[in-house]
Each structure stands twice: as structure tokens, then as C-alpha cells.
């Protein structure tokens, strides 16, 4: 029997207050699970009451969408499906193409891989600076008219961009990294979303695993994208693991795990925030979802705020190349890779 979790509104959709980010089942982090294990985890999430699953054409260059279609396609009516375009495979490598032709082709291929006639929420994974915004958004708008997608979203953009796109076509959700150690959206994006009635999806809500206790000083396996991120390189990594130790202390005092404290903190920020943690482990998934049954004091959340005040985290968020595709506002004095 399928369980029920607390819900949050996401435009026209009502989704579980915590969704599932599916990237690391096929892409980004190492090690990755075998296909059968990944399918079991997806089905377990659905049975536990998760009704929001997030993927992208980029993840495994289509492999993640194929996985979701294979594992969950027969229960398509039971969940809200989100995917993304513009970032994907170009000549065998990661590339950015926000042209109307590329978006249309990516969407048509995604529908086949996902074994569905319609995607509920379809994001521009990144805004392509080489393509007029009106062209990219226009392609998504026409896809809505054609019944291929229900709503559109944006990822890693500024409040100014959100307003500009929303004026062309209503935006249902904005997705950006948000956790205690990455709080850029508090500068303007969250206020903008609240004003316009747009939902907010928090990706990497556990600081890419560091605030869940899954990152140590030994480094990463080959192919793990975190190895190229400055915050996971020395001397920054050791300093940031010190923050995790303090976060773990706050969690022990609150009788929860660090991952649960991260998610509860996020859920307390705004009632339209939906975190989408990822995991390859069913026990960890259960731990994550059990957050929704916890009661944690605002005093503890204030302690998390203080621990992760601006300047506490060591190192730039992204490499110079990756940062060049990010439109989200930056803090005055925020370290950027050179």
C-alpha cells in the first residue's frame, strides 16, 4: 500500500513536501547503483509517498530518463514528473544549446525515454546566453500548447531573469541549489518566487552529501563531479568538514540526523520550498523522508543560520567554467574561482 506524505503546492500540482532528485542514480556522483537497485529505490520512494521525481536530459545523457521510464512508467499517474532541457549531450560531451530546434528535439526524445505523453514540469536547465531568451521560452510555450509539457520551469537564474521569463510565459517553479552552505537564493530569488506565486525546488539540499556525512577526506572516485568543485578540494574540504562536525552536534542535540536537520531547516524557510535530495540507498531515503514527521525548534534553525553565516563556508561553489553558466545572484565578497 502506498503511504502518504505531507504535501506542498507547486503551481497547479500538489506534491510531497520532499521530492527525489534522481541525478546520482545515473550521473554525477560515484559509485552508482546497478540498474536493478536503482529501480528498487525509485519504486520504494513512490511507495513511501514521494510524488515528485526530478530528472534531466543531461543525467547520463538520457540514461536517467530511461531509468525512470522503465521503473515508474507503469505508475505514471501516481507522481509529478519534472525534467530539463538545454544542457545535454553535444558531440559526446556536455554542452549548452537553448535553441528552439534543440529544445524541441530534446523534449521529443525525453518523452520516448520517459515512456510518457506529457512531462508535468519542464525546465530550462540553464539559460543559453547565445540564444535570445524569447526563442528558448517560446519553444517551451509551444510545447505547452502542443500538450507535450504542462508547465515550464527555470534553473539557476536570477530574480531579474525570472521576472522577464514570467512576463513571456508563466513560470511554475525555479530550481536552484539551496542548503545551509549555499544560500544565494536568499538574496532575491525566494522573495521573487513568493511575489509571483512560483514554487521553489531546492537541489543539493544536503550540500552534495557533505552535510549528510557521506563525504570524507579520502577524496572521490574517478568520474565524480565533486572532485572538480573547489569546496571539496583542500584546504577547503577540511575546513568544511569542520562545519559538518558542528552541524552534527546541533543535530544530536535536536535528536535527529544532520541530513534531517538540513531538510527541516529548508522546509522552515518558505512554505513553497520543496527539497529534492538524492540518494542511492533505501535506508538513507527512509531517513530523509522521516524528516517530515519531526518537530524541531526554531532555536535550532537559528543556530544553523548562525553556523552557516556568510563567509563560514570555505571555497568557491563552482569552477570558473561551471560558474559561467550560473545566473543566480552572488553575495558581495563571495569567493569565485579564477
Residue 201 neighbours by CB under 8 Å, 6+ apart: 10, 19, 54, 82, 153, 173, 174, 175, 176, 274, 275, 276
Domain residue ranges in the chain = 7-212+259-294
**What per-residue confidence (pLDDT) applies to 139?**
97
* Mean pLDDT, rounded, for 271-300: 97
* Mean pLDDT, rounded, for 245-271: 98
On the 0-12 / 13-18 / 19+ scale of CB atoms within 10 A, 219 is middle
Q: Do the Cβ atoms of 125 and 98 come closer than 8 Å?
A: no
Cell digits of residue 29: 556522483
> For the chain, what percentages of helix, strand and coil (3-state, to nearest 5) are there?
45, 15, 40
> Looking at the predicted structure, is the pLDDT value of residue 250 above 80?
yes
> Looking at the predicted structure, is the pLDDT value of residue 16 above 90?
yes
* Mean pLDDT, rounded, for 74-83: 97
**What per-residue confidence (pLDDT) applies to 99?**
97
* Mean pLDDT, rounded, for 198-223: 93
CATH code for the part of the protein at 7-212+259-294: 3.20.20.100
* Mean pLDDT, rounded, for 278-299: 97
Q: What is the DSSP letter of 207?
A: T
Residue 287 neighbours by CB under 8 Å, 6+ apart: 257, 259, 260
> Looking at the predicted structure, is the pLDDT value of residue 1 above 80?
no
> Looking at the predicted structure, is the pLDDT value of residue 2 above 80?
no
Give dist(CA 35, CA 43) in Å, integer. Answer: 12
> Looking at the predicted structure, is the pLDDT value of residue 201 above 80?
yes
Q: What residues are annotated to the active site?
A: 59
pTM of the model: 0.96
> Looking at the predicted structure, is the pLDDT value of residue 173 above 90?
yes
Give dist(CA 34, CA 40) in Å, integer. Answer: 10
- Could you report the per-residue pLDDT of 105-147, keeping only the tens digit for each? 999 999 999 999 999 999 999 999 999 999 999 999 999 999 9
Q: Which range (88-97, 135-144, 292-301) has the least confidence? A: 88-97
Residue 120 phi, psi dihedral angles, 5° rounding: -70, -45
Amino acid at each position: 500500500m502506498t503511504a502518504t506524505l505531507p504535501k506542498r503546492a507547486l503551481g497547479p500540482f500538489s506534491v510531497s513536501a520532499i521530492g527525489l532528485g534522481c541525478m546520482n542514480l545515473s550521473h554525477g556522483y560515484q559509485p552508482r547503483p546497478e540498474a536493478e537497485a536503482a529501480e528498487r529505490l525509485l519504486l520504494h520512494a513512490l511507495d513511501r509517498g514521494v510524488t515528485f521525481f526530478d530528472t534531466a536530459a543531461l543525467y547520463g545523457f538520457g540514461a536517467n530518463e530511461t531509468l525512470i521510464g522503465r521503473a515508474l512508467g507503469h505508475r505514471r499517474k501516481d507522481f509529478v514528473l519534472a525534467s530539463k532541457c538545454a544542457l545535454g549531450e553535444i558531440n559526446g560531451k556536455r554542452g549548452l544549446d537553448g535553441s528552439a530546434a534543440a529544445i524541441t528535439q530534446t523534449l521529443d526524445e525525453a518523452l520516448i525515454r520517459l515512456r510518457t505523453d506529457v512531462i508535468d514540469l519542464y525546465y530550462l536547465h540553464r539559460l543559453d546566453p547565445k540564444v535570445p531568451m524569447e526563442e528558448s521560452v517560446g519553444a517551451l510555450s509551444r510545447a505547452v500548447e502542443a500538450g507535450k509539457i504542462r508547465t515550464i520551469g527555470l534553473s539557476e537564474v536570477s530574480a531579474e531573469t525570472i521576472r522577464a521569463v514570467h512576463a513571456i510565459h508563466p513560470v511554475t517553479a525555479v530550481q536552484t541549489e539551496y542548503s545551509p552552505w549555499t544560500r544565494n537564493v536568499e538574496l532575491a530569488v525566494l522573495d521573487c518566487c513568493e511575489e509571483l506565486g512560483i514554487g521553489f525546488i531546492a537541489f543539493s539540499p544536503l550540500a552534495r552529501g557533505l552535510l549528510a556525512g557521506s563525504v570524507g577526506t579520502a577524496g572521490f572516485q574517478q568520474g565524480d563531479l565533486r572532485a572538480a568543485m573547489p569546496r571539496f578540494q583542500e584546504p577547503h574540504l577540511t575546513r568544511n568538514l569542520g562545519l559538518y562536525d558542528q552541524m552534527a552536534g546541533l543535530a544530536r542535540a535536536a535528536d535527529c540526523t544532520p541530513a534531517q536537520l538540513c531538510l527541516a531547516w529548508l522546509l522552515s524557510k518558505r512554505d513553497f520550498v520543496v527539497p529534492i535530495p538524492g540518494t542511492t540507498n533505501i535506508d538513507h531515503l527512509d531517513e530523509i523522508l522521516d524528516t517530515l514527521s519531526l518537530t524541531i525548534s526554531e532555536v535550532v534553525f537559528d543556530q544553523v543560520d548562525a553556523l552557516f553565516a556568510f563567509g563560514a563556508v570555505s571555497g568557491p561553489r563552482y569552477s570558473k567554467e561551471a560558474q559561467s553558466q550560473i545566473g543566480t545572484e552572488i553575495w558581495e565578497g563571495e569567493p569565485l574561482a579564477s
